[in-house]
Structure 1
Amino acid sequence: MPQKRFSVLDLLGLNLKEHDSLDLRCLCGRRGLVRGITIPDLNRPGLALSGFYDSFAWQRVQLFGRGEVAYLNKLLSEGRLDTVDQLFTFELPCCIFTHNLEPAQAFIDMAEQSGCPVLQTGLESSEFSSRLLRILSNIFAPKVSMHGVLVEVYGLGILIMGDSGVGKSETALELIERGHRLVADDVVEISCVNGNSLIGQGANKIIGHHMEIRGLGIINITQLYGVGSIRERKEVQIVAKLEEWDANKVYDRLGTEELTMEILGVRIPKLEIPVKPGRNVPIILETAAMNERLKSMGYFSAKEFNQNVLKWIETDAARAPYYGVDDSY
């Protein structure tokens, strides 16, 4: 998968609100805003400022908190500019000062001369670090686009897949009518976050929360059913593959066989649902969502049924030798 191109200017341009806001502004080095951020991590350059540049993580965003700024000001006041000047011999993505701290003019001049952007935020270092790492982790997460419809049913994200014309959008529309929520239609972008969570959202935000219904055209779900009928993103927890009914295919009737599907290295439960006239697919998906929630609580209906049948067979077989044919009446 090609590495994502993400620049400092892209970081400044992120439309983040509330608990995701980074509160960033550029102090100097604007010609370096095109520099790319290639590693979803940050570095505290205190050790580098002391003159130790071995294994210096210059490719990361450099974060200056109160400790780094106090030491930096001490170096500048003593005229020890060599270690600070050496810092800018590396092509740093950017330097970020937290707590609304103002870098010294000498530092700004060095940064401007080297073309290194210097940013400022009012957030504390720990809070800013956690927000930035979370945002960069999502941006650099492995992604894949899949054809299907993602809906939230009883709190679970269900990715409805199948051949074109099998009824994916119509099934999702019926689920929305029943009070569930649409995440994305037609093309779903799935990201692998933290190595084990699959987060799905619409691949194109401009046409997000619109659906194409054959014979009806494009409809706006938000306008028709309200903002309570949509979600921006949701974890994909079940894959439901709709397929035309095949009389020659043997379908699982007990549910003891647990099918899975691998997406970006993560395995999630998969259902194969045959579609034919008379089958109420939306209610099947509702039941599947509730059944999956029961499984997460440790209750497996199909296995319990199988165990009860085995117990009954064993009990009946154990009684047979002790009773004659006439005794059974």
Structure 2
Amino acid sequence: MDKMITVKDLIDNTNLQVYSGAEFLVERELTESEISRPGLELTGYFDYYPAERVQLFGQTETSYARAMTSKNRYHILEEMATAKTPAFVFSRGIEPSSEMQRAVQENQIPILVSPLTTTRVSNIITQYLEKVLAPRKSIHGVLIDVYGVGILLKGDSGIGKSETALELIKNGHRLVADDRVDVYQQNEHTIVGEAPQILENLMEVRGIGIIDVMNLFGASAVRSSMEVTLIINLNNWSPDVNYDRIGTENKTEQIFDVEVASMTIPVKVGRNISNIIEVAAMNYRAKKMGYDASARFETQLNNLIKHNSESD
């Protein structure tokens, strides 16, 4: 990964507390989202030791270490405390041993603690690191929450993306980002979008300028992030294009490694695009629940053709 944060960033964004080494928080870098529970290393096996990861000690690791002699314990912990190791974390309010404190002090590595269970601590750290260290890119468009569906509106400048989003907001839906949407891959199935910090809660409306959506419509009109579940491309209506009229086309667009459902909505005078987008969101949810109107139409059509053929 090409992005880097420090242990201080981890402290500032989680409920972890500093036990020792506060003066080293800014110096220690985090470049891996995975964490390590060093069970094998405590036995002396270091062939594949992931030194660049946060080292998490729970009840199991601590109990095993306590059974060792003080000399062996210090030898193992000293080998674990490398120049790459960002931090040692102890869950369940476990008190680090004196050998641990000596090893990290010599190598300038902070010790962090938490009263939470090991699994909970692991989840908190992993979720934060996966979010901030994930590859990101910026997409020109508008991201809005419509009936719980994260819709990314795309299209040429001036086609009416922001104006459509504004009408959706007035109808009770929520803005995530306008003009630029920063997206990252949360896992193998999920793309999450959010606004760049400088554009958070802001929207550009041609003829008016920049407006603060939260200030004008209230906190319920915005949200900080949203899964991108449907991409809607707004295109100027063209008589030469055969638009999908039944809904049987299952198109997708790839963002990173994830295929996101997509569709194209033609724009022309007289079409209420915000209403169409609301229906698109409801129809998307219905399909996810197993109610596919296009499939039902095809079934009824085939039954009618079969019936007419038998009548002949």
Partner of 1:246: 238
Q: How does 1:212-251 map to 2 (within 5 A)?
A: 212-251=204-243
Which of 169, 180, 203 is residue 176 of structure 1 equivalent to?
169
Partner of 2:75: 82
Residue identity matched to 2:7: V
Partner of 2:299: 307
Q: How does 1:1-329 map to 2 (within 5 A)?
A: 3-14=2-13, 21-28=14-21, 30-31=23-24, 33-73=26-66, 75=68, 77=70, 81-89=74-82, 91-202=84-195, 204-320=196-312
Change (3 A) 1:91 1:75: farther
Are the aligned partners of 2:252 and 2:260 in contact in 1 as well (CA < 8 Å)? yes
CA distance in 2 between partners of 1:216 and 1:32 (Å): 46
**Bigger shift: residues 261-270 or 231-240:** 261-270
CA distance in 2 between partners of 1:305 and 1:71 (Å): 64
CA distance in 1 between partners of 2:73 and 2:12 (Å): 36
Higher CA-based Rg: 1
Residue identity matched to 2:4: R
Q: Deviations over 1:65-110 (max 9, x none)?
A: 2343344455464676333332334631211122233323443232
Change (3 A) 1:78 1:261: closer
Are the aligned partners of 2:70 and 2:99 in contact in 1 as well (CA < 8 Å)? no
Change (3 A) 1:265 1:231: same
Are the aligned partners of 2:65 and 2:73 in contact in 1 as well (CA < 8 Å)? no
1:81 counterpart SS class: helix
Q: Give the number of equivalent residue pairs.
A: 312
Q: Deviations over 1:17-51 (max 9, x none)?
A: xxxx4332251263364222222222222432333
Residue identity matched to 2:129: L
Give TM-score scaled by structure 2 length: 0.91
1:246 counterpart SS class: coil
2:197 counterpart SS class: coil
2:29 counterpart SS class: coil
2:229 counterpart SS class: strand
Q: CA deviation at 1:215?
A: 0.2
Change (3 A) 1:117 1:181: same
Structure 1: tracts of 5 or more residues without a match: 15-20, 321-329
CA distance in 1 between partners of 2:289 and 2:81 (Å): 55
1:260 counterpart SS class: strand
CA distance in 1 between partners of 2:34 and 2:255 (Å): 25
CA distance in 2 between partners of 1:157 and 1:36 (Å): 33
Are the aligned partners of 1:75 and 1:81 in contact in 2 as well (CA < 8 Å)? no
1:53 counterpart SS class: coil
Q: CA deviation at 1:272?
A: 0.9
Are the aligned partners of 1:62 and 1:95 in contact in 2 as well (CA < 8 Å)? yes
Are the aligned partners of 1:28 and 1:108 in contact in 2 as well (CA < 8 Å)? no
Are the aligned partners of 1:23 and 1:123 in contact in 2 as well (CA < 8 Å)? no
Q: CA deviation at 1:114?
A: 1.1
Q: Deviations over 1:208-244 (max 9, x none)?
A: 1111000011111111111111111111111111111
2:227 counterpart SS class: strand
Change (3 A) 1:284 1:89: closer
Change (3 A) 1:32 1:135: closer
CA distance in 2 between partners of 1:253 and 1:235 (Å): 27
1:242 counterpart SS class: strand
Residue identity matched to 2:57: F
CA distance in 2 between partners of 1:249 and 1:303 (Å): 23
CA distance in 1 between partners of 2:44 and 2:300 (Å): 72
RMSD of aligned alpha carbons: 2.2
Are the aligned partners of 1:22 and 1:123 in contact in 2 as well (CA < 8 Å)? no
Structure 2: tracts of 5 or more residues without a match: none
